[in-house]
Amino acid sequence: MPLWDGRFDGGPGREMQLFSESLGVDLSLFEEDIAGSIAHCTMLGEVGLITEEEASALRGGLMAVREELRQGLYEPDVSLEDVHMAVESRLTELLGDVGGKLHTARSRNDQVATDVRLWLKPRLAGLDEGLARLVGVLLDRVTADGRTLMPGFTHLQHGQPIWLGHHLLAHAWMLSRDRERLAGAAARVDLCPLGAGAMAGTPHPIDRHRTAELLGFSGLVENAMDAVAARDHLQEVVSVCAICMTHLSRMAEELVLWSSPAFGLVRLSDAFTTGSSIMPQKRNPDAAELVRGKAGRVYGDLVALLTMVKGLPLAYNRDLQEDKEPLLDALGTTRASVSIMGSMWESLTVERERYVEELAGDFLLATELADYLVGKGVPFREAHQVSGRLVRWCEERNVDFAALTLKVLSEHHPAFGEDALLWLDPAAAAERRRSMGGTAWEEVERQVRTLRETISSGK
Ligand code: ARG
């Protein structure tokens, strides 16, 4: 029989038990549940709500249950509903009546809220560690291969010549903002709801600050109703995961494109590609594709969490039991995706020769000609027109900018001088972009230093 059967004639039917139990996912929380209970009974003993002997008996019993769960010796029956009742019922089997004192001045509502926050804290730190590693791997790659010229894309068409390092830094900045968002979410997770009771607090003289301190929280969720009903901290964590997965999926998409024979800009290591069961030539970028696909899954987790709380009257409703699967799934998926992305970037080869080929025979330097004229006092709009006409001139003759001579340039605009031809060099074009955050190599190096500091300072 469940622990709450006082007013019932019979327990819930089997169908209801199976529908309502959450032991499957809850058992991933047993360490946190027992840690919460140990802190709770210590506090109860300190304030005199139970005797010190009772507190120490309860602590011993809880440790024994923890050991049984760790070793798989205790497999709670589904009739016990959740991890909280599974632990308490086994505790009472082991200790007798004193086990019943553990639940003084608390409820499963504040208990589950505490468990999830405790569970999250080290995992958020783990995700941050993974992100810091990924940012570090990208920065290492900038240092190793970043001084490779490539076409910067807009609309997936060649735009302007940039250093590969400039492109990689854009990803690194996005990921470092994910770390900032994560730190914000982690600060709001790090508050203790225990002692809220069902929603109204308790008539007993508990010390909520002490429990929070024993559990290593940095503060309290003050309002008892907020403490048991709020799930915005979980929505926030999963939003951070969803945004991060968006970033990873963009990187993943580029790896799929760049590693395809059509682009050939990178070669993924064998460790992260798979073969085709029918086409022997294939080296499929499955890891990158899976990251891209898993982003959709994490968005689903976020929508589940937002929807289950939407319109929910205060305070606790059983709907909230459904929060754990999406939370666990989102964190696990994001953590694994961050990690494999780091490993892929660590082990791939940048095909530097291919980047150079990719630059040739294109009109990537059209903006340079316009900027040259701007330097001679021509309004940008007019300069843009002139440069466009030069692209057309080349296209009509099926040649590229290498065919341009001073004569041809001068026919298109009188402001062109001898030095204009020097502007038709992609490396010089990249290096001219020295404005703050531009692609010039000194700016790339400056940003590498800035981002490295965020890693070493643990920010
Ligand atoms: N298993 C429940 C959950 O995860 C614990 C809280 C149950 N509270 C209740 N009043 N039924 O949300």
**Minimum mean pLDDT among 8-12, 43-47, 191-195: which range?**
8-12
Q: Which of 112, 199, 231 to mutate to test the pocket of ligand 1 (most atoms within 8 A of CB)?
A: 112
- Whole-number Å distance, alpha carbon 302 to ligand 1 midpoint, is 21
pTM, whole model, 2 decimals? 0.93
CATH class of 109-194+223-352: mainly alpha
- Whole-number Å distance, alpha carbon 187 to ligand 1 midpoint, is 24
Looking at domain 361-424, which of 3.40.190.10, 3.30.1360.10, 3.40.640.10, 1.10.40.30 is its CATH number? Answer: 1.10.40.30
Instruction: State residue 458's pLDDT score.
Output: 67
Instruction: State residue 353's pLDDT score.
Output: 86
- Whole-number Å distance, alpha carbon 47 to ligand 1 midpoint, is 27
Residues with CB under 6 A from ligand 1: 22, 82, 108-109, 112, 316, 318, 320-321
Tell me, letter by letter, the H, E, C secondary structure of the chain. Answer: CCCCHHHCCCCCCHHHHHHHCCHHHHHHHHHHHHHHHHHHHHHHHHCCCCCHHHHHHHHHHHHHHHHHHHCCCCCCCHHHCCHHHHHHHHHHHHHHHHHHHCCCCCCHHHHHHHHHHHHHHHHHHHHHHHHHHHHHHHHHHHHHHCCCEEEEEECCEEEEEEEHHHHHHHHHHHHHHHHHHHHHHHHHHCEECCCCCCCCCCCCCCCHHHHHHHCCCCEECCCHHHHHHCCHHHHHHHHHHHHHHHHHHHHHHHHHHHHCCCCCCEECCHHHCECCCCCCCCCECHHHHHHHHHHHHHHHHHHHHHHHHCCCCCCCCHHHHHHHHHHHHHHHHHHHHHHHHHHHHHHCEECHHHHHHHHCCCCCCHHHHHHHHHHCCCCHHHHHHHHHHHHHHHHHHCCCHHHCCHHHHHHHCCCCCHHHHHHCCHHHHHHHCCCCCCCCHHHHHHHHHHHHHHHHCCC
Q: How far apart are CA 233 and CA 231, in angstroms?
A: 5
**Would you kindly state where each structural domain of the chain is located, as residue ranges?**
14-104, 109-194+223-352, 361-424
Name residue 283's amino acid: R
- Tell me the catalytic residues: 155, 276
Share of the chain above pLDDT 70, in %: 98
Q: Say whether pLDDT at 43 is over 70.
A: yes
Q: How far apart are CA 39 and CA 37, in angstroms?
A: 5
Instruction: State residue 358's pLDDT score.
Output: 75
Two domains, one topology: 109-194+223-352 and 361-424: no
- Whole-number Å distance, alpha carbon 33 to ligand 1 midpoint, is 13
pLDDT tens digits along 57-116: 999 999 999 999 999 999 999 999 999 999 999 999 999 999 999 999 999 999 999 999
Radius of gyration of the chain (CA): 31
CATH class of 14-104: mainly alpha
Residue nearest to atom 4 of ligand 1 (CA): 321
Q: Which of 318, 323, 324, 325 to mutate to test the pocket of ligand 1 (most atoms within 8 A of CB)?
A: 318
Residue nearest to atom 12 of ligand 1 (CA): 321
pLDDT tens digits along 344-403: 999 999 998 887 777 776 788 888 899 999 999 999 999 999 999 999 999 999 998 889
CA 366 to chain centre: 39
Q: Which of 321, 324, 325 to mutate to test the pocket of ligand 1 (most atoms within 8 A of CB)?
A: 321
Residue nearest to atom 11 of ligand 1 (CA): 318
Q: Say whether pLDDT at 244 is over 80.
A: yes
- Whole-number Å distance, alpha carbon 112 to ligand 1 midpoint, is 7
Share of the chain above pLDDT 90, in %: 84
Q: Say whether pLDDT at 1 is over 70.
A: no
Mean pLDDT of the 279-290 span: 86
